Structure 1
Amino acid sequence: MEKKNFDVNSLIGFVLIGAILVWMLYLQKPSEEEQAEKAKTEAAAKQKENSDTKEDTTLEEATQELASVNAQDSAAVANLKNRLGSFAYSGTLPSATENTTVIENEVLYLEVSNKGGYITKARLKNHTTYDSLPVSLIKDGNSTLNLQFSSENRLLNTKDLFFEPSLSKNGENSVLTMRLKTSENNFIEYRYELLPDEYMLNFSIKSQGLDNVINTSQPIYLDWNFKGYRHAKSITYENRYSRLTYEYEDEDHDKLSPTGEDDELEKDVTWMNFRQHFFSSMLLTDTPFKEVSFTSKDLVEDEEIDTVYTKKYGAKMLLEPKAGGLSYNMNMYYGPTDYQILNDYGRNLDDAMPLGWGIFGMINKYIIIPLFGFLSGFLPAGIAIICLTILIKLLLSPVQYKQYLSQAKMKILRPEIEEIREKYGDNKMKIQQETMKLQSAAGASPLQGCLPALLQLPVFYALFTFFPSAFDLRQKSFLWADDLSSYDVIAHLPFHIPFYGDHVSLFPILASIAIFIYMMMTTGQTMQAQQQPGMPNMKFIMYLSPLFMLVFFNNYASGLSLYYLTSNLITIGIMLVIKNFIIDENKVHAKIEKKKKQPKKQNRFQRKMAEMMEQAEEQKKAQKRK
């Protein structure tokens, strides 16, 4: 067997091969320049990967980042522009700061933000809140206006992007254009034009040169969200008359619920009003919005706690682009919910006010509002209320005379009706039959007293809706009331009573006393004495009405309570005059007796009723014989 020895030559060969490999690796090592470029490329790739996966990075952040990034960092700039798409042009960004531009006139102060291009402050110069602060309809982010559309497979929101402002004059009008650009000549534009002494401003949205940027096959929405600030002393009372109203489809009008949450989808909407009782924020359009999704949410849960906002409103409007792009001519209104102001603008804006429907609204528009406007033009507001009430009561006095005459006749017939009840005992059918015969022969009927009262109801209800919406009463004082559009206070309570509040108002107390006296003179003297089984307890009603006034009107406008107090005092006075100087009950009684002796010709209805009652009486006797 051959013996194996160590091969020195092989060892030397392996060493030489290893040295050669080390030398080759050294020669292939990248230079410092190459290493720096590689590190930069890896950083850019990592940044791109993060931007693709980090979904909560918004366009707003990208825009702001693009405004401040080092322009020499080409990879970072390219990445940010990729996230912004065509609207990365705004990265030159002289406007990419949250600055605002002011436009104002004698009555209205507005601030429009570069970010989003919408109004971020709207203040009424000539009006203050209950605590003497300026009335601001928009401030501190309570309102946003956002145009939402698709572009390059992205959903863009203009509220996150920056517009370029340009302020100019058109005669006496202030004109502000806000442009969201993709290039110098391609942009989305908001245009605001404010006229002197006007709460209404012209507003338009248009696009130029963006046919290949805005995806018109996807829906385009204008989204307006708004939270109404509290302006009145009683947030509960103010909130009751704060409501979203709108016009749609051939001048129809509707509104969302004033309580809880409500929503509605409407077609062809021409205007909407985010009403806050005495102040309104409105959007009107010359081209009806094809479809609008409305939402409303009541934010008042406890008057003692929730004292900042009343309602949260929303309107998401579907826009229809034309051949040249978007083009909508609109108006915005930030001002008082005043009938005279809104009516002067036309466009059915007076229907944005809660004046009642049908005949009630007509009475307000064509009688009460013009009459009160005339009186308040030269009289203090409280005196104007009293004079208005006197004129209306005098106008209705013939109706009230008929009502009292009917009550007087029923009072005279009361002894004979009592005799009929005693005579026929438990025979209710016979009692009713004989009572009707007596009333027919005497020319008296309870219905004759009810009919005049029904004729007065439209006027009373119209006045009930007028006073809470009368802007002319706002912050007008009378006697101890500081503000006739809010409750008066004669004492503060150390605790809060449900439905009543934490204060005592005097006008509702006086009105309750007047109502009670009136009920005693009418219900207490007539209906209560004629109480029949199955009929409402009139004595209970007599006490309920003043109690209702006392409790629930404690937080209502003192002007409304002043009207009820004046109205009932005048009614009591008219009744006393009629009773003591116009109607002689002895003469009325003599006429009744004379009329009873005359043959009474029954009409067809009366004959039919008499026949039916006689048949019912015969059937009852037949059943007894069985």
Structure 2
Amino acid sequence: MRSAVYLWLMMHIDFSLLYLLYMVLDRNKIVRLLLMSTGLLIYFYFFNPKSEMRPVASPAAAATDQTMLPLNRTNGVSQLASTPFAVALQGEEKDITVENELLKVVLSTKGGTIKRVVLKQYKDTSGKKLVLLDEQSSHMGISFPYQNLRVDTKDLYFQTQSSPVYKLKEAEQATIVFRLVLNSSQYLEQSFTFSGASYQINYDWHAVGMELNANTQANFCWDIVMKSLETDAKADTARSTVQYYLQDQTFDKLKESSTEVEKKHIGVPIKWVSVKQRFFSSAIVAGDAFKLGDLCMQPSVSSNVTKSVALSLSLSDKDKARGQFVFFFGPNDYKILKKVTKGFEQNIPLGWAIVKWVNKGLIIPLFSFLEKYFSNYGLIIFLLVFIIKLLLAPLAYSSFISMAKMKLLKPELDKIKEKYKHDLQQERIQQAAFCRELGINPLSGCIPALLQMPILVAMFNFFPHAISLRQASFWWANDLSTYDSIMTLPFTIPFYGNHVSLFTLLMALSSIFSNQSGPKEGPMKVLSYTMPFVFMVILNTCPAGLSFYYCIFNVMNLLQQKLINHWVDTDGIKEKLMGRQQNAKQGAKLSFQSRIASAIEANNKKKNRS
């Protein structure tokens, strides 16, 4: 799908790039190019997961789906009955609630762990505060060796002296300590430290006075069922995965599109692991890198669950009886992620090399700047287009001038093509010589067009992951982060779907009008109508914010072309080209006469010497 969109973007830059190619390529090559493009569109359609709006699930159905844990580890509770841990196998579960400006977290004495996480600044599809994790969807704990057995903290009851409720202001902190005392010299301790305005929680685990088996590892184990948090369930599923960052600064992830169980053994130190969904992440960052890890992810057959995950991360060998970590539960917001730890912002896919730097250096800062002064995201997108069009104006002008020159030369180029129609190589040589004679590079207009490509492609990576657009309404679109369905059809149209996205429809119409301002000869005339229609079908499930951006881009592009046509003196360009052609002919004639005169002079000198 993404490659298909890149093809559309190439055709979308005032059609100048394709037009210049049309000027220098023969029709057979153009036909082959179009066939390849069509083949790619069909391929990426069939291999791309289609988005689907889902109804809000009932609590009962959601609870049933959330119990599908991905990995049932061996429970050694019965074996612990004859060990000092027997006293902790039963007890009373108590909850401690810690609330700051961003999070509401419920901790439990059962396991001494995090039981529930609520993101206060965000809402779910039913309008309630977003529950990122709960006791049905998340089980975590430290599994460590003890007397040839394995003890899992999530099976044990801890004690705490903490108050049942904490409400923190911005500058405040609170530490919740859970302790399990075995005897006067041995105890387990887990502590969680919260700040008043942070999505991060510091976590410290310590086995005091215990002789742990040196030949086995203590592991942090975490089973997560990723609940679908978005209206567009398929898009959420397609962007849900497990991502990790190694100590050697290598970033990698499990394959999002896999339909089979994905397993990954990592035998090198790991700095952090993130269970990432489209707009939110749950992650753990190690103080001392995890020694190694095993990751498991399986797709879900339920509409209420995106994927199920099991993590087993071995603690560092520096101190097997202690581990210091940081949990992150929050939005995939670039500004927030960048402050967590090194490389953590890579949880947001911003595109490949150049595109990534365009997003980091231009699009994200500009979008964030506009957010400070405007709350209407439709207006923000409009201003974003306007500013970018201003930045690209010199390139657009240069591309237009090159295209205008080639259009003026087309009659002469066609004459050369007709004269050498049976000798393609000679045709190319003569056309190149003709353009060189006038001081024109046939592909000079491609360079400005290609320089615009990274910005246009960057938008395709930016909008689907812009959490600011989540549930942001504009005109008829209730959520700019997903498609704006104005009509649900009683049937499904192949390739298109069962809904009508109005912003995508307007984008296609504006693209047709914008393309009419360019050349309309040969295959270009057909392309100017067919490509907008093809991509209206393919992009029907894209975010409304992206479709609106390109719709406004097309309208401004049309206005820009009108202004350039008004300002540029095409007759003056034609006169300059004719003047260059006359000068070139005179220069060639003088050069020929000079060579004749030199030859006569040389011959006279030879006669005089003889």
Which TM-score band applies after superposition, normalised by the shorter structure? 0.7 to 0.9
Answer whether contact 2:392 2:452 (CA < 8 A) is retained.
Answer: yes
In structure 2, the CA distance between the partners of 1:87 and 1:319, relative to structure 1 (3 Å rule), is same
In structure 2, the CA distance between the partners of 1:368 and 1:487, relative to structure 1 (3 Å rule), is same
Amino acid paired to 2:413: I
User: Which residue of 1 is the match for residue 227 of structure 2?
Assistant: 229
User: Which residue of 2 is the match for residue 613 of structure 1?
Assistant: none
Structure 1 residue 424 displacement after superposition: 2.5
Structure 1 residue 156 displacement after superposition: 3.0
In structure 2, the CA distance between the partners of 1:552 and 1:473, relative to structure 1 (3 Å rule), is same
Structure 1 residue 399 displacement after superposition: 0.4
The reply on whether 1:371 has 2:366 as its aligned counterpart is yes
Partner of 2:330: helix, strand, or coil?
A: strand
Counterpart Cα distance in 1 of 2:444 and 2:396: 11
Counterpart Cα distance in 2 of 1:387 and 1:601: 52
User: Which residue of 1 is the match for residue 241 of structure 2?
Assistant: 243
Alignment of 1:6-85 (within 5 A): 59-60=76-77, 62=78, 83-85=81-83
User: Which residue of 2 is the match for residue 69 of structure 1?
Assistant: none
User: Which residue of 1 is the match for residue 509 of structure 2?
Assistant: 513
Amino acid paired to 2:570: E
In structure 2, the CA distance between the partners of 1:471 and 1:426, relative to structure 1 (3 Å rule), is same
The reply on whether 1:565 has 2:565 as its aligned counterpart is no
Amino acid paired to 2:200: M
User: Which residue of 2 is the match for residue 129 of structure 1?
Assistant: 124
User: Which residue of 1 is the match for residue 87 of structure 2?
Assistant: 89
Amino acid paired to 2:575: A
Structure 1 residue 385 displacement after superposition: 0.6
Partner of 2:463: helix, strand, or coil?
A: helix
Counterpart Cα distance in 1 of 2:487 and 2:430: 56
Counterpart Cα distance in 1 of 2:242 and 2:561: 43
User: Which residue of 2 is the match for residue 353 of structure 1?
Assistant: 348
Answer whether contact 1:234 1:555 (CA < 8 A) is retained.
Answer: no
Partner of 1:190: helix, strand, or coil?
A: strand
Counterpart Cα distance in 1 of 2:578 and 2:471: 58
Partner of 2:434: helix, strand, or coil?
A: helix
User: Which residue of 2 is the match for residue 8 of structure 1?
Assistant: none
Deviations 1:274-300 (A, max 9, x none): 11111111111211111122333333x
Structure 1 residue 564 displacement after superposition: 0.6
Aligned length: 506
Counterpart Cα distance in 1 of 2:157 and 2:433: 85
Answer whether contact 2:438 2:584 (CA < 8 A) is retained.
Answer: no
Structure 1 residue 159 displacement after superposition: 2.6
In structure 2, the CA distance between the partners of 1:600 and 1:237, relative to structure 1 (3 Å rule), is farther
Deviations 1:564-621 (A, max 9, x none): 1111111121112112x2222222122112222334999xxxxxxxxxxxxxxxxxxx
Structure 1 residue 408 displacement after superposition: 0.9
Counterpart Cα distance in 2 of 1:157 and 1:435: 77
Amino acid paired to 1:489: S
User: Which residue of 1 is the match for residue 568 of structure 2?
Assistant: 583
Alignment of 1:111-510 (within 5 A): 111-167=106-162, 172-211=172-211, 214-260=212-258, 261-266=261-266, 267-299=268-300, 306-322=302-318, 325-379=320-374, 380-497=376-493, 500-510=496-506
Amino acid paired to 2:190: Y
Amino acid paired to 1:590: E
In structure 2, the CA distance between the partners of 1:197 and 1:411, relative to structure 1 (3 Å rule), is same
Counterpart Cα distance in 2 of 1:351 and 1:484: 23
Structure 1, unaligned stretches of length 5 or more?
Answer: 1-55, 63-79, 532-537, 603-626
In structure 2, the CA distance between the partners of 1:119 and 1:601, relative to structure 1 (3 Å rule), is farther
Answer whether contact 1:186 1:210 (CA < 8 A) is retained.
Answer: yes
**Identity fraction in percent:** 30
Pairing partner for 1:593 from 562, 565, 578: 578
In structure 2, the CA distance between the partners of 1:201 and 1:565, relative to structure 1 (3 Å rule), is same
User: Which residue of 2 is the match for residue 550 of structure 1?
Assistant: 536
Partner of 1:356: helix, strand, or coil?
A: coil
Answer whether contact 1:237 1:556 (CA < 8 A) is retained.
Answer: no
Amino acid paired to 2:283: M
Amino acid paired to 2:291: K
Answer whether contact 1:147 1:223 (CA < 8 A) is retained.
Answer: yes
Deviations 1:55-107 (A, max 9, x none): x99544x4xxxxxxxxxxxxxxxxx87x442312325x5xx244433222232
Answer whether contact 1:258 1:298 (CA < 8 A) is retained.
Answer: no
Deviates more, 1:273-282 or 1:214-223: 214-223
Counterpart Cα distance in 2 of 1:340 and 1:271: 18
User: Which residue of 1 is the match for residue 11 of structure 2?
Assistant: none
Counterpart Cα distance in 2 of 1:312 and 1:97: 29
In structure 2, the CA distance between the partners of 1:57 and 1:432, relative to structure 1 (3 Å rule), is closer
Aligned Cα RMSD in Å? 2.7
Deviations 1:310-340 (A, max 9, x none): 12233221113546x5222211111111122
Counterpart Cα distance in 2 of 1:598 and 1:328: 81
Counterpart Cα distance in 1 of 2:110 and 2:82: 15
Counterpart Cα distance in 2 of 1:507 and 1:371: 23
Counterpart Cα distance in 2 of 1:548 and 1:352: 32
Partner of 2:571: helix, strand, or coil?
A: helix
Structure 1 residue 456 displacement after superposition: 0.5
Counterpart Cα distance in 1 of 2:184 and 2:102: 35
Structure 1 residue 421 displacement after superposition: 2.3
Structure 2, unaligned stretches of length 5 or more?
Answer: 1-72, 588-610
Answer whether contact 2:76 2:150 (CA < 8 A) is retained.
Answer: no
Structure 1 residue 511 displacement after superposition: 0.6
Partner of 1:569: helix, strand, or coil?
A: helix
Amino acid paired to 2:83: G
Structure 1 residue 547 displacement after superposition: 3.1
Counterpart Cα distance in 1 of 2:388 and 2:116: 43
Counterpart Cα distance in 2 of 1:544 and 1:166: 70
Partner of 1:448: helix, strand, or coil?
A: coil
In structure 2, the CA distance between the partners of 1:461 and 1:184, relative to structure 1 (3 Å rule), is farther
Answer whether contact 2:289 2:316 (CA < 8 A) is retained.
Answer: no
Deviations 1:485-540 (A, max 9, x none): 22212112223446544321110111111222333433x53xx53x6xxxxxx566
Partner of 2:231: helix, strand, or coil?
A: coil
Q: Which has the higher contact order (CA 8 A, sep 6+)?
A: 2
Amino acid paired to 1:569: V
Counterpart Cα distance in 2 of 1:515 and 1:180: 67
Structure 1 residue 374 displacement after superposition: 1.7
Deviations 1:226-277 (A, max 9, x none): 1211121111222333332222123332222211143433322112221111
Counterpart Cα distance in 2 of 1:263 and 1:240: 18
Amino acid paired to 1:349: F
